Amino acid sequence: MNPKQIIKNLPYQKPFLFVDELTEISESGISGNYTFKESAFFYEGHFKENPITPGVILTETMAQIGVVCLGIFLLKDKISTTTKPQIALTSNVVDFYIPVLPNEKVTVISEKEYFRFNKLKCRVKMINSKNELVCRGTISGMIIAK
């Protein structure tokens, strides 16, 4: 399964799709990027006259690229035009270090800790275009093809 097919199988659409491109994919991990457009809905109120990307959106971006996209790749033999991935976030612990501003491009790098009994747990980090660590943590989810 190639990167465009993985993105096509994501259960999200704009304005809640936070994956522009997948750059590396293997059985043990994945990386990809996303640019937070200045026109995104969440900047209007977060914060007044000083917009930054909410932590929950950064976490969602890490989950979409680092867990869901990897999970779709790992289930590639079970996904078809009639069988779609079903996803549920089960846990996350994320530490935040620096803000992400409008129009900033980030890269998400995920390493699989394990995938068994349909539960995928990954160590995920986000870096900005200056190669600075934005946030990192562990994210787990359940993923099945149904």
* Model pLDDT, residue 39: 95
CATH code for the domain in which residue 32 is found = 3.10.129.10
Give yes or no for residue 142 having a pLDDT over 90.
yes
Q: Band of the pLDDT at 136, cuts 50, 70, 90?
A: very high
Residue 84 clears pLDDT 90, i.e. is over it: no
Q: How far apart are CA 82 and CA 48, in angstroms?
A: 45
Is 129 in the active site?
Answer: no
How many folded domains does the chain comprise?
A: 1
Global pTM value? 0.95
Residue-number span of the structural domain to which 140 is assigned: 3-145
Quickly state the pLDDT bin for 17 (edges 50, 70, 90).
very high
Report in angstroms the alpha-carbon separations of 40 from 51, 61, 69, 103, 139: 10, 14, 22, 9, 24
Of the residues 35, 46, 136, 138, which is catalytic?
Answer: 46
CA atoms within 13 A on the CB side of 38: 3
Q: Is residue 4 over pLDDT 90?
A: yes
